[in-house]
Chain A
Amino acid sequence: MPSANLSYRAVFALVLKRDLTIALRHKDDIINPLLFFVIVVTLFPLGIGPEAQTLSRIAPGIIWVAALLATLLSLDRLFKSDHNDGSLEQMLLSPQPIFILVLAKIVAHWLITGLPLILVAPLLAVLLHLNEQSYGALMLTLLLGTPILSLLGAIGVALTVGIKKGGVLLSLLVLPLYIPVLIFATSAIDTAALGLPYSGQLAIIAALFFGSLTLAPFAVGAALKVSTN
């Protein structure tokens, strides 16, 4: 078999392409979390009242919390079907490093769920009367922050993939880990609304991103080994 001699880059590309192909064949998997995101955000103006001032004050929080929940809903797909049909075990048994396989799967997950969220976000920001100065901050925090959500979420999914009713447990494990991202992202957007520099918060989110990018795949690999036993 020539596949044993694949370079790391080729392995990465192979897994990424496979996951993207599977996702594109189940388009509702991409669209449903996105619809959830949009619907949750539209609930707030209906519940709180349509005053533009109130809405623009709470818009960053609403968009970010909705993004957290939408990511949480989509996480299940990351390993579940692969675990059910046994391909996850085959991947773990392959001679390729787990780090690369896991990273490719997480990148695919972000491309399927995180990227569409970022593209829809400005539209929702208009609906919520987000302060005009905050759009840049919103996009930058989402761009840096949503990969963190996929990376940390992958740890939770890997831990719970073997459990039958893992859904509620997953949110219990993952949401506390999401809190720092939420705090710094909304703080950056609020600071931008005042016309002040928000590079400090952005730097912290970037640090969280690189920290989780380098460390999370190891934790995911270890957790998958436990889950597949």
Chain B
Amino acid sequence: MWKWLHPYANPEVSYHFTGKLIPWLSALTALFLSIGITWALAFAPADYQQGDSFRIFYLHVPAASLSMGIYVGMAIAAFTSMVWQFKLADASAAAMAPVGATFTAIALITGAAWGKPMWGTWWIWDARLTSELILLFLYLGVIALHNAFEDKNLAGKAAGILTLVGVINIPIIKYSVEWWNTLHQGSTVSKLGKPSMSIDMLWPFLFCFLGFALLVATIICIRFRSEILARNSIRPWVRALVAEHLLQEKNNAV
């Protein structure tokens, strides 16, 4: 049943496969993001209470949910690598960590920018903000652990254990607005059946969300490819690639 998956355990096959994927992903990213952002910033109706400043929502919410989504992806990769000794999974987790940290930082910064006009303060120690901050620290810890080991195999295993320990934070962030009565508002879009926001506001959000998700996928693919190259730099196929590249450059120069 899983036989079709086996060839992708080979770094070379994965490298070429993601190479073919990237043009498609980046084209779709450009399409969805340009439509979504134009629609969201110029054409979506303003909120009856929050006015135009609610529009930061179209950046804040995708960044926040992607920051959690990337962590879950990283945890799945870490689990896969630990259980099935699947080395490429470590490379993908290493590729995801900085992207996730960046999106967590974006969520926190846009949240602060949104909080100033709405709540009258840049920061408040409420449950969701605090748990998102812990998520950022966890990401930074994973990255630091990756960098601390010389041997990338060991680094991947160690960071994987830390990732799996930190996974406990994800449900806490997700449900913090339901468990505690906090200043941060509850979810408005995840109820697919009947979202508690106007449909005119929801459509641009879906475009923005998909656009940012595709952007994340594109960046992760690019980083994943360079991780593969760095880890396999002594393999003949990587050397052949480099030789080919050098030859091309030489020809271009002539």
Contact = CB atoms under 8 A, between A and B. Distances in A.
Do most interface residues of chain B lie in helix, strand or loop, or is the interface mixed?
helix
A160 to B, nearest CB: 7
B24 interface: no
Interface residues of A, number: 21
Contact of A163 (B82, B130, B138, B148): B148
Given A159-B162, A219-B161, A226-B161, A166 B148 contact: yes
A177 B169 CA distance: 9
Contacts of A159: 145, 158, 161-162
Given A173-B144, A176-B166, A179-B130, 17 more contacts: A155-B165, A159-B145, A159-B158, A160-B148, A163-B148, A163-B149, A169-B145, A169-B148, A172-B140, A173-B145, A173-B162, A177-B165, A219-B161, A219-B164, A222-B82, A223-B158, A226-B157
Interface string A169-199: 1001101110110010000000000000000
A163 B159 CA distance: 13
Given A160-B148, A166-B148, A223 B137 contact: no
Interface in A146-171: 155, 159-160, 162-163, 166, 169
B134 interface: yes
B166 A177 contact: yes
B141 A176 contact: yes
B126 to A, nearest CB: 12
Given A173-B141, A176-B134, A226 B158 contact: yes
Interface in B100-150: 130, 134, 137-138, 140-141, 144-145, 148-149
B144 to A, nearest CB: 5
Contacts of B154: 162, 226, 229
28 contacts: A155-B161, A159-B158, A159-B161, A162-B154, A163-B148, A163-B149, A166-B148, A169-B144, A172-B137, A172-B140, A172-B141, A172-B144, A173-B144, A173-B145, A173-B162, A175-B137, A176-B141, A177-B165, A179-B130, A180-B172, A219-B161, A219-B165, A223-B158, A223-B161, A226-B154, A226-B158, A227-B158, A229-B154
B162 A176 contact: no
Nearest to A165: B148
Nearest to B147: A169
A175 B148 CA distance: 18
Interface of A: 155, 159-160, 162-163, 166, 169, 172-173, 175-177, 179-180, 183, 219, 222-223, 226-227, 229
Contacts of B161: 155, 159, 219, 222-223, 226
Contacts of B164: 219
Interface in B64-93: 82
Contacts of A227: 158
Contacts of A163: 148-149
Contacts of A219: 161, 164-165
Contacts of A169: 144-145, 148
Contacts of B148: 160, 163, 166, 169
A214 to B, nearest CB: 13
A166 B137 CA distance: 17
Interface string B163-176: 01110000010000
